[in-house]
Amino acid sequence: MAWWLAWWACRPDDGVLDVGHPPPTETGEDHTGVVVTDPTFGDNLVALGSSPPAHMITATLFLTDTTVAACTASQMVQIYDLALRPDPSLFSTVPLLPPARTRCQHLSSPDGQWMVGTHHGDETGPAWVGLFDVANPHRPRMTDIWSNGNVQPEGVATSPDTVWVAAHDVGLLRFQPADTRLGDPAVWGDVEGNAYAVALGDGRLAVGTVEGEVQVLDLDGQRLATVSASGPVRDLMWLADGTLAVACGSDGLDRIDVDAGTIVAHADLPGSALDVDVLGDGRIAVADWSDLRVFEPDDLALLATEDPSTVDQDAALQGLSARGSQIVAADWQEVRTYAWDPSVSAPDLRLDVPRVDLGPADAGVELAYAVVVRNEGARDLHVRDVSVADPAVTVDRSTLDIAPGGADFLELRWTSDGQPLATTLTLLSDDPDEGTTALSVTANAPGAGVGDLVPDFTYVAFQDTTAYSSRNLGAPALLTYFATF
């Protein structure tokens, strides 16, 4: 997975009159909600709890109804107990055998007694495929490992006696474990392209590629069909009707009919669809990096969303696993648990942003920002108290009433004193699982910010190309940060 963070540094002028989303009406006018036409959401995806902070959790897997395995970046796999809800408790940890002194990326298990983990290999450590005995969740152990510097293992699928691993340019690897050993793999099946994900269902294998193809094979390795997806395939899962749910990263979610050779439904997502699983009632759950979403399987109509962002942490949902009405999600720092209950009808408060940065301003300059509040639930939302911890920041109202599918806003204003601002906006509402919602509010943050001039620099890039900031005075500059994991 690759991600980037970018910000603009521009404008040689000084002073900022208004930063953020301008209010849709002038202060003092009637604030009426903007109603949308699809009030199908309900607060039926209920957040139950989360584990204590861990180190970069990248994948989760139900082993039984009450035990979950989680990949971490801290050279181990962790096993959690869900019986003591709402918060998962840590049963045990499984140190990785050498040479897998790195993180785990993907997990699969056919029966909850043993499982397979993989890592594609990067600067943190070598590529590997590992076999785990998890029959006793209190005493799990890694029993065998296979590693090859020329192979990059990614997604994995398992049957009771066979393991298939998507291995980028190699295609599919097939292991046939005996007792506690993986044995040597065979390069298997008629797969073309850069294989990333694999799913087993009803006697067929579906392989998703980075080039955006879904290739379907029988269990003899013969290719039965090839279908183009909307974008690079990050994960895929067979549905009960023989179609596939396909997570295509920033290109959204597809439902593909492999027999007809076509995409029969598509949903755009605000984030990046990284992992997909199927609930007991056939609905589709997707980890979207920024939130968790549930869709109808036929037309991919959106049914529910949950954003786990907090006042001090953005969401980073990279993986999920579903069993019955339960969902566990890998939120990079925590294992989060959710309950899917389509019978629940309630308000569901949603903010458009996880935090507000008013930007820089000299003393005496007034800054304003409109915080959009949405009700994605099926009943009226009542916000009964709105407050800001720092009295120097004012908010125009203390209550809101928003109809299902509607939106309204709160206007924040602050007159700069030239010093950094760090405070919290808090909303108390009748949303049953997010009754207290907090939003951080900052301004004049130390360091370079939006609207600041880029410091003078000289940078020598590839092929002896030299860039000088002095040649671009007055022009906007986009600074980016890029990382892989």
Is residue 47 over pLDDT 70?
Answer: yes
Average pLDDT over residues 5-33: 32
Determine the pLDDT at residue 138. Answer: 94
Determine the pLDDT at residue 237. Answer: 98
Average pLDDT over residues 49-56: 83
- State the residue for tokens 């809101």: 400
Question: How many Å apart are CA 427 and CA 382, to the nearest integer?
Answer: 10
Question: How many Å apart are CA 238 and CA 462, to the nearest integer?
Answer: 44
Is residue 1 over pLDDT 90?
Answer: no
Residue 134 φ/ψ region, left for φ over 0, alpha for ψ in the -120 to 50 degree band, beta for the rest: alpha
DSSP category for residue 64:
S
Determine the pLDDT at residue 85. Answer: 67
Determine the pLDDT at residue 26. Answer: 28
Q: Smallest Cα–Cα separation from 68: which of 248, 322, 290, 389?
A: 322
Tell me the three state secondary structure of residue 92.
strand
Question: How many Å apart are CA 440 and CA 428, to the nearest integer?
Answer: 15
Question: How many Å apart are CA 106 and CA 128, to the nearest integer?
Answer: 11
CA distances from 300 to 47, 134, 294, 295 (A): 22, 35, 9, 5
Q: What distance lies between CA 214 and its chain's CA centroid?
A: 22
Question: How many Å apart are CA 435 and CA 438, to the nearest integer?
Answer: 10
Question: How many Å apart are CA 56 and CA 75, to the nearest integer?
Answer: 11
Determine the pLDDT at residue 290. Answer: 84
Determine the pLDDT at residue 450. Answer: 58
Q: For 180-229, write each residue's pLDDT tens digit.
A: 899 999 999 999 999 999 999 989 999 999 999 999 999 999 999 999 99
Average pLDDT over residues 58-83: 91
- Domains along the chain? 1-13+451-485 (no CATH), 17-39+349-443 (2.60.40.10), 45-340 (2.130.10.10)
Question: How many Å apart are CA 213 and CA 465, to the nearest integer?
Answer: 37
pTM attached to this predicted model:
0.79
Is residue 65 over pLDDT 90?
Answer: yes
Q: Smallest Cα–Cα separation from 291: which of 258, 314, 266?
A: 314
Q: For 289-328, write each residue's pLDDT tens digit.
A: 988 999 999 999 988 888 887 666 677 899 999 999 999 9
Is residue 50 over pLDDT 60?
Answer: yes
Q: Percentage of the chain surpassing pLDDT 90?
A: 62
- State the residue for tokens 């890029």: 482
DSSP category for residue 271:
S
CB–CB of 317/335 below 8 Å?
no
Instruction: Name which residue leads in pLDDT, 343 or 157.
Output: 157
Tell me the average pLDDT of the chain. Answer: 85
Question: How many Å apart are CA 25 and CA 328, to the nearest integer?
Answer: 41
Determine the number of helices (DSSP H) and then strands (DSSP E) in the chain: 0, 41
The 10 Å CB-count burial string (b at 16+, else e) for 462-479 is eeeeeeebeeeeeeeeee
Is residue 14 over pLDDT 70?
Answer: no
Least confident of 121-125, 235-239, 357-361: 121-125
Backbone angles phi, psi at 482, to 5 degrees: -130, 135
Q: For 420-453, write each residue's pLDDT tens digit.
A: 999 999 999 999 888 899 999 999 988 766 566 6
